Structure 1
């Protein structure tokens, strides 16, 4: 098992990951007789993980269980698999923490809301991919976010995840130490996704920084929470500084996602649609049908990307949503 330090450079990561395998940065796993992936209801002795997951090439993660089930059913149709996909089975049905669906080489998993929830899922997902001996895996977080200075419905493809101080880092408290990890994402993948987005009709998209916060209300400068310790003027001054620092959307998972995927040699991207412009308000007021259309945009983009990677995209036989 290869063990890399948290400060490993991208060049070092690439050299270690030349065979395309997913690495775990924990030498203690070699000493374990069995690895129980508790929150996924899976394990190395109870399940044949290479048989179940070994052909996985794409992993898509998102906060909502219902949305990730809908994405799996959408991908079932887009990949032209047999059946209608309505009876697709939740692999993690034995737990109520996360849901997981597999359609062909695509794994769709929910991660809940916030850094702690997605962190737990990622630890077990990365170990799962490692135990299954998966190679050349691309992992993409799809979700919703608050926009910053851009129109609602815009899809932001993250180039760098930043913290609340606009720094490209994730700080993890380990024992009684604060460990800082890089949040660099794969820039080539971001550019490839942007190019794919240009093939979709009426699809506003851009590459920008994504700010990850620890809270939805005060932590994102909202004035409408149960607590608020700042003025409207202070809020706008902060959000404008974020915009000037390159931030184009705000969510609650991207820094730990970027840090963990980078350390384990996973090609990763974050693709989130914006539901509102935070410079104009705090509450999401768009009608349900509009929000539903917005939420489907990251799914449409990732479907096109996956089909192009698999050689299944036919530019001359596109749906009405695509030019």
Structure 2
């Protein structure tokens, strides 16, 4: 087994808090084409376009990330009549990216593979743009375990489907494991921001990241199911006993990759249902829309508070 931690052994974050890529090959390239973002180091002035970015908020849904940039722009006083926020990645249909002042809002699609592709190019973008002091936060939805729907979970530790704090990937035929740790200081700041708002239930807990929405999360309603309802309940109860409070499909890769590049990262997800009570979402569209706004409100408050303190 090959093992890699959050970054080079013994390395501390540099004093300028720059994004530290872990690939010496990039220095030899005359041009770096960020294919899935429709950006390039030779055709775009990345420092001019993105050099002031301090907050990168990512989420699965393109429409949710568009809604977030409109919301945060209004909250920061950047919005005005006629102001538009075009999709910077309009030349591709893989991801969307919007910018308002120091905030970048980007979709990552669904699951670890889609998120990993986005992160490779997004982290390179931040590096090429010479950004410093960047914070990355995932704003998402999830299935809760033992929580009422609408609860917001601030991730303390991302874990895999065996409840281990590991992100595993096969590289050149070898098993590579990295630590998917979240930034403890960020967790506490976000907890305080939730207390400031006092609008919805918020908990700190472990987040389980799976490779699949159905079998991988123990659902009974997929096209395939070779386990019993009792086995499913025992698995989810074991997850709860291990400190897991919600389930999604991106947190481990997000934490592991940001850690490797010395970027503080947090995950804030709202729960749409309690998986101990069932597998299908029963809330109305209007209720779900309100639920999905909760992480946006919390993270927007965090950004405003950070900027006010700067």
State the aligned residue count: 308
TM-score, structure 2 normalization:
0.96
Q: Is the 8 Å Cα contact of residues 76 and 85 (structure 1) preserved in structure 2?
A: no
Please name the residue that 1:164 is paired with.
Answer: 161
Please name the residue that 1:184 is paired with.
Answer: 181
Q: Is the 8 Å Cα contact of residues 60 and 140 (structure 1) preserved in structure 2?
A: yes
Deviates more, 1:192-201 or 1:122-131: 192-201
Helix, strand or coil for the counterpart of 2:10? helix
Please name the residue that 2:4 is paired with.
Answer: 6
- For 1:61-140, list aligned pairs within 5 A: 61-84=58-81, 87-140=84-137
Unaligned runs of at least 5 residues, structure 1: 314-323
RMSD: 1.6
Alpha-carbon separation, structure 1, partners of 2:5 and 2:108: 26
Q: Is the 8 Å Cα contact of residues 156 and 205 (structure 1) preserved in structure 2?
A: yes
Helix, strand or coil for the counterpart of 1:107? strand
Alpha-carbon separation, structure 1, partners of 2:80 and 2:20: 35
1:300 to 274, 278, 297: 297
Q: Which has the higher contact order (CA 8 A, sep 6+)?
A: 2
Helix, strand or coil for the counterpart of 2:196? coil
Q: Is the 8 Å Cα contact of residues 6 and 178 (structure 2) preserved in structure 1?
A: no
Helix, strand or coil for the counterpart of 1:145? strand
Alpha-carbon separation, structure 2, partners of 1:212 and 1:231: 22
Q: CA deviation at 1:20?
A: 0.7
Alpha-carbon separation, structure 1, partners of 2:10 and 2:90: 38
Structure 1 residue 147 corresponds to structure 2 residue 134: no
Q: CA deviation at 1:85?
A: 6.7
Helix, strand or coil for the counterpart of 2:137? strand
Alpha-carbon separation, structure 2, partners of 1:309 and 1:139: 13
Q: Is the 8 Å Cα contact of residues 6 and 256 (structure 2) preserved in structure 1?
A: no
Alpha-carbon separation, structure 1, partners of 2:124 and 2:248: 25
